Structure 1
Amino acid sequence: MEVLNSVAIEFDAISDLFRSAREEGRDYLFEYEVYNLLGRSGAETPPKCILLPRGARSSDDELNALPGEKVVLKIVSPTIVHKTEVGGVRVVPKNPDKIRSAVRRMLYDVPENYANMINLAPEHAPAEYRGLAGENLVAAIRRDLKGVLMVQFMPPDSSAFGNELIVGLRNTREFGMVVSAGLGGTDTELYAERFRKGQAIVAASCELIDGKAFFELFRKTISYRKLAGLTRGQRRIVTDEQLVECFSSFIEMGRHYSPMNPDAEFVINEMEINPYAFTDFLMVPLDGMCKFGSPRERENRRPIGKIENLLHPGKIGLIGASTKRRNFGRIILDNILAEGFAKEDIFLLREGVDEIDGVKCYPNLADLPEKMDMFVVAVGADQVPGLVDEIIRFDAANSVMLIPGGMGETEESRERAQKVIEAIDEAHGNGDGGPVFLGANCMGVVSRPGKYDTWFIPEEKLPKDRESAYRRAALVSQSGAFMLHRSSQCPEMKPAYMISMGNQTDLTLGDMVKHFRDSTEVDVIAVYAEGFNDLDGLEFCTAVREAVLAGKEVVFYKAGRTPEGKSATSGHTASLAGDYMVCESCVRQAGAIVARNFTEFQDLFLLAENMAGKRINGNRLAAVSGAGFETVGMADSIHSDDYQMQLASFSAESHQKITEILDAKRLSGLVTVHNPLDINPSADDQAHAEITDILAHDEGVDAVVVGLDPLSPAMHTLLETDVPAFDMKAESGIVQLLAEVVGRSDKPVVGVIDGGRLYDPMRDALHNSGVPIFPVCDRAVAALSQYIEARLYAESIRMESDR
Structure 2
Amino acid sequence: MDRFMQSRSESSASFAAAGAQLAALFVNATAAGRDFLNQQELTSLLSSGPIPLVTEPQLPNLVPFGELQICLNNTREFGLVISAGSGGLDRELDAGNFKWGRVAVHAVVELTDAHDFLTQFKRTLAYQKLTITANRRAHAVPDEQLTQCFKFLLELAGTSAPSIPGSRHTLTGLTLNVEQDDDRLVVRGAECTFGNQQAARLGRPIHKIDKLIHPGSIGIIGVSASNMNFGRIILHNLLGSGYSKDKLTIIRAGETEIDGVRCVESLRALSGKLDLLIVAVAASAVYELVDEIIDTDAVESVMLIPGGLGETQNSKEPAAGLADRINANHCRPGGGPIFLGANCLGVVSHPGSYDSWFIPLERLPKPPKKPQRNSVMLSQSGAFMITRLSQNPWLDPRYMLALGNQTDLTHGDLLRFFAEQPEIDTIGIYIEGFKDRDGLDFAIAVRAAVKNGKQVVVYKSGKTSPGASSVMGHTASIAGDTALFVSVLRQAGAMVAEDISTFDDLLYIAGALHHKTVGKRRGAISGAGCESVGIADSIDSDNFSMEMGTLEPATIRRVEDILIAKKLQALVEVRNPIDINPGADDETHLQITEAFVQDPNIDAVVVGLDPTAPSVRALVESTLRPGFDIQDPKSTVYLMPPIVLRNGKPIIGIIDGGSLYDAMAARLMDQGVCIFRNCARGTKALVRYIEVRMYADNINHRNR
Show the counterpart of 2:112.
209
**8 Å Cα contact 2:603/2:649 also seen in 1:** yes
**8 Å Cα contact 2:86/2:104 also seen in 1:** yes
**8 Å Cα contact 2:142/2:184 also seen in 1:** no
1:673 aligned onto 2:574 = yes
1:422 aligned onto 2:324 = yes
Show the counterpart of 2:354.
452
Show the counterpart of 1:157.
62
SS in 1 for 2:633: coil
Q: CA deviation at 1:156?
A: 4.4
Tell which has more relative contact order, 1 or 2 (C-alpha 8 A, sep 6+).
2
Amino acid paired to 2:399:
Y
Give a deviation string over 1:567-601, Cα, whole Å, max 9, x none. Answer: 22122111111211111111111111111111111
**8 Å Cα contact 2:528/2:579 also seen in 1:** yes
C-alpha distance 186-753 of structure 1, shift in aligned 2 (>3 A): closer
Q: Distance in 1 between matches of 2:117 and 2:536?
A: 32
Show the counterpart of 1:102.
none
Consecutive unaligned residues in structure 2, runs of 5 or more: 1-7
SS in 1 for 2:601: coil
Over aligned residue pairs, what C-alpha RMSD do you find? 1.9
Matches within 5 A, 1:310-709: 310-466=212-368, 469-616=371-518, 618-709=519-610
Q: Distance in 2 between matches of 1:649 and 1:282?
A: 43
Amino acid paired to 1:519:
Q
Choose 565-574 or 403-412, whichever is displaced more.
565-574
- Choose the corresponding residue for 1:262, options 160, 165, 168: 165
Amino acid paired to 1:602:
D
Amino acid paired to 1:638:
I
Q: CA deviation at 1:643?
A: 2.9
SS in 2 for 1:348: strand
1:14 aligned onto 2:35 = no
C-alpha distance 470-494 of structure 1, shift in aligned 2 (>3 A): farther
Show the counterpart of 1:306.
208
Show the counterpart of 2:181.
279
Show the counterpart of 2:658.
756
- Choose the corresponding residue for 1:176, options 60, 79, 83: 79
C-alpha distance 468-701 of structure 1, shift in aligned 2 (>3 A): closer
Q: CA deviation at 1:468?
A: 5.8
**8 Å Cα contact 1:227/1:236 also seen in 2:** no
Q: Distance in 1 between matches of 2:250 and 2:391?
A: 33
Show the counterpart of 2:53.
46
- Choose the corresponding residue for 1:33, options 41, 48, 61: 41
Q: CA deviation at 1:416?
A: 2.8
Q: Distance in 2 between matches of 1:366 and 1:5?
A: 59
1:250 aligned onto 2:153 = yes
Amino acid paired to 1:411:
Q
Q: Distance in 2 between matches of 1:192 and 1:3?
A: 40
Q: Distance in 1 between matches of 2:308 and 2:94?
A: 41
C-alpha distance 330-721 of structure 1, shift in aligned 2 (>3 A): farther
Q: Distance in 1 between matches of 2:95 and 2:511?
A: 35
Q: CA deviation at 1:23?
A: 0.3
Q: If the length of structure 1 is used for normalisation, what is the TM-score?
A: 0.84
Q: CA deviation at 1:689?
A: 1.5
Give a deviation string over 1:461-506, Cα, whole Å, max 9, x none. Answer: 2223158645211011111111111011111111101111111100
Amino acid paired to 2:276:
M
Q: Distance in 2 between matches of 1:346 and 1:559?
A: 37
Show the counterpart of 1:714.
615
Choose 4-13 or 764-773, whichever is displaced more.
4-13
Show the counterpart of 2:97.
194
Amino acid paired to 1:631:
S
SS in 2 for 1:158: strand
Q: Distance in 2 between matches of 1:754 and 1:595?
A: 23
Q: Distance in 2 between matches of 1:243 and 1:188?
A: 19
C-alpha distance 186-756 of structure 1, shift in aligned 2 (>3 A): closer
Q: Distance in 2 between matches of 1:503 and 1:662?
A: 60
C-alpha distance 672-640 of structure 1, shift in aligned 2 (>3 A): same
Give a deviation string over 1:710-748, Cα, whole Å, max 9, x none. Answer: 112211112244544432122111011111111111111
Q: CA deviation at 1:350?
A: 2.2
Q: Distance in 2 between matches of 1:300 and 1:680?
A: 64
**8 Å Cα contact 2:370/2:394 also seen in 1:** no
**8 Å Cα contact 1:208/1:590 also seen in 2:** yes
**8 Å Cα contact 1:348/1:362 also seen in 2:** yes
Q: CA deviation at 1:337?
A: 1.0
Q: CA deviation at 1:767?
A: 0.9
Give a deviation string over 1:140-169, Cα, whole Å, max 9, x none. Answer: xxxxxxxxxxxxx4334323xx43211111
- Choose the corresponding residue for 2:191, options 257, 282, 289: 289
**8 Å Cα contact 1:385/1:419 also seen in 2:** no
Q: CA deviation at 1:641?
A: 2.9
Q: CA deviation at 1:197?
A: 2.4
Q: CA deviation at 1:43?
A: 2.0
Aligned residues with identical type, % of pairs: 44
Q: CA deviation at 1:31?
A: 2.6
Q: CA deviation at 1:216?
A: 1.1
C-alpha distance 594-633 of structure 1, shift in aligned 2 (>3 A): same
**8 Å Cα contact 2:410/2:435 also seen in 1:** yes
Q: Which protein has the larger Cα radius of gyration, Structure 1 or Structure 2?
A: 1
Give a deviation string over 1:210-233, Cα, whole Å, max 9, x none. Answer: 111111111121211221226995
Show the counterpart of 1:118.
none
- Choose the corresponding residue for 2:672, options 762, 770, 782: 770
Q: CA deviation at 1:191?
A: 5.0
Amino acid paired to 1:309:
K
Q: CA deviation at 1:358?
A: 1.4
Q: CA deviation at 1:6?
A: 7.1
Amino acid paired to 1:248:
K
Q: Distance in 2 between matches of 1:734 and 1:582?
A: 45
Q: Distance in 2 between matches of 1:285 and 1:237?
A: 19
Consecutive unaligned residues in structure 1, runs of 5 or more: 50-70, 73-152
Q: Distance in 2 between matches of 1:186 and 1:735?
A: 55
Q: Distance in 1 between matches of 2:115 and 2:135?
A: 26
SS in 2 for 1:656: helix
SS in 2 for 1:288: strand
Show the counterpart of 2:3.
none
